[in-house]
Amino acid sequence: MSAADAPLRRPLLQVEGLRTGFPSRNGMLHAVDGVDFSLERGEILGLVGESGSGKSVTGFSILGLVDSPGRILGGRVLLDGVDLALLDEGARRAIRGKRIAMIFQDPMMTLNPVLRIDTQMIEAITAHDSVSTAQARDRARAALVQVGIAAPDERLLAYPHQLSGGMRQRVAIAIALVNRPDVIIADEPTTALDVTIQGQILYEMQALVRESGTALVWITHDLSVVAGLADRVCVMYAGRIVEVGPVDAVLDAPRHPYTRGLIDSVPAMNPRGRPLAQISGNAPSPVDLPPGCAFWARCTRAIERCGELPSLEAPVDEDAVSRTVRCWNPVPLPAAGTR
Ligand SMILES: Nc1ncnc2c1ncn2[C@@H]1O[C@H](COP(=O)(O)OP(=O)(O)OP(=O)(O)O)[C@@H](O)[C@H]1O
Ligand code: SF4
Ligand SMILES: [Mg+2]
């Protein structure tokens, strides 16, 4: 096969230059300010960053669910090469839940408190597929089993308030899985759960993604979750991605000073006995972002050039790893053998 005949290999999901803002009394609040990333089938991407960095708004923007009067100000979201903004609302609705599903931190964003679980799951299936109620019920039951719910027939007959928090979240995950979507965007769905249940759900999600080829974006502020779950990680700061790369490379040898600071502040990621460091200062206001690097005021590596906005690029001294960093003066790579 010649190169011209080769099928065009493109990522499953491409986010290009995404900008989302909320008008406020003090001007436009730039929640997401130029986010680019791509996702392959079967890949798990961790999206991390501190509170307010724009992780959830990125997820909502991909699904076209930004709260009004907020709106997408620029950029594109492509699913299999198709620009979602060019579809009409009917076609977009058909994609939501069927090809891209979202799991929220609060399962009650998905669940309707006054409907039984079977009613909700069957409705989620028949909204997209013309199958009989009996077939839909079988699929719903199978999805509950998939997320590790024992006694699924009993759970199908329950109302959300009759289930524990962990069980409700599993049901919300099952609803996201029930149409076998190509992409799942999970927005901190395990943060409110106890550590054992969190671990179980992470394990099950990872296994499901590996089996089904579904791509997963896992939004979290918890780097240790990303370390165990993701293939690649995107680090967000003040509405922008500041570092992207394979999870081991980024966590073992971060190049952006913000990523370095984040890792140094996590007890589980530091050698025992090493003092924990906190990043001093606060993130800039998203209504009034500085013209240059948004991390400048907090950065110990700042140089004069940092008054200009850096772009997301591969550091010049790094060729083996597909990592990009938004920084004029990245943290040096550790000497070989010291990582
Ligand atoms: N509906 C909204 N109206 C106005 N501003 C909003 C809205 N939703 C988010 N924002 C603002 O957008 C910015 C990004 O918020 P976002 O919720 O994406 O942060 P996050 O990274 O998900 O934080 P967290 O870790 O706390 O969930 C914040 O400044 C937030 O206040
Ligand atoms: S661009 Fe400059 S200020 Fe920003 S993180 Fe890099 S070194 Fe620090
Ligand atoms: Mg959030």
Write down the pLDDT at residue 35: 96
On whether the CB atoms of residues 258 and 242 are closer than 8 A, the answer is yes
| Segment 168-197 mean pLDDT | 90
Q: How many domains does the chain have?
A: 1
Mean confidence (pLDDT) of the chain: 91
**Domain assignment of residue 83, yes or no:** yes
Write down the pLDDT at residue 338: 56
**Domain assignment of residue 118, yes or no:** no
Joined tokens for residue 105: 């931190």
| CB of 292 sitting under 6 A from ligand 2 | no
**Domain assignment of residue 186, yes or no:** no
**Domain assignment of residue 335, yes or no:** no
Ligand 2 atom having least distance to the Cα of 300: 8
**Domain assignment of residue 306, yes or no:** yes
**Domain assignment of residue 258, yes or no:** yes
Q: pTM for the whole thing?
A: 0.92
Range of the domain at 241: 13-40+53-91+232-325
Whose structure tokens read 């961790």?
A: 46
On whether the CB atoms of residues 181 and 99 are closer than 8 A, the answer is yes
- Residue 330 alpha carbon to ligand 2 centre in Å: 7
Backbone angles phi, psi at 216, to 5 degrees: -130, 130
Residue 33 banded pLDDT, cuts 50, 70, 90: very high
On whether the CB atoms of residues 206 and 44 are closer than 8 A, the answer is yes
Residue 319 banded pLDDT, cuts 50, 70, 90: confident
| CB of 146 sitting under 6 A from ligand 1 | no
- Residue 221 alpha carbon to ligand 1 centre in Å: 13
Give the rounded percent of residues in the chain with a pLDDT score beyond 90. 71
| Segment 233-253 mean pLDDT | 96
Q: Is the pLDDT of residue 181 over 90?
A: yes
User: How far apart, in whole angstroms, are the C-alpha atoms of residue 325 and residue 171?
Assistant: 38
User: How far apart, in whole angstroms, are the C-alpha atoms of residue 71 and residue 307?
Assistant: 28
**Domain assignment of residue 275, yes or no:** yes
| Segment 299-328 mean pLDDT | 92
Write down the pLDDT at residue 1: 46
Among protein residues, the one whose CA lies closest to atom 28 of ligand 1? 52
| Segment 140-168 mean pLDDT | 93
| CB of 220 sitting under 6 A from ligand 1 | no
User: How far apart, in whole angstroms, are the C-alpha atoms of residue 165 and residue 4?
Assistant: 53
**Domain assignment of residue 219, yes or no:** no
Ligand 1 atom having least distance to the Cα of 58: 18
Task: Among 105-114, 228-237, 313-322, name the one with the lowest average pLDDT.
Answer: 313-322
User: Residue 256: which CATH number?
Assistant: 3.40.50.300
Write down the pLDDT at residue 7: 55
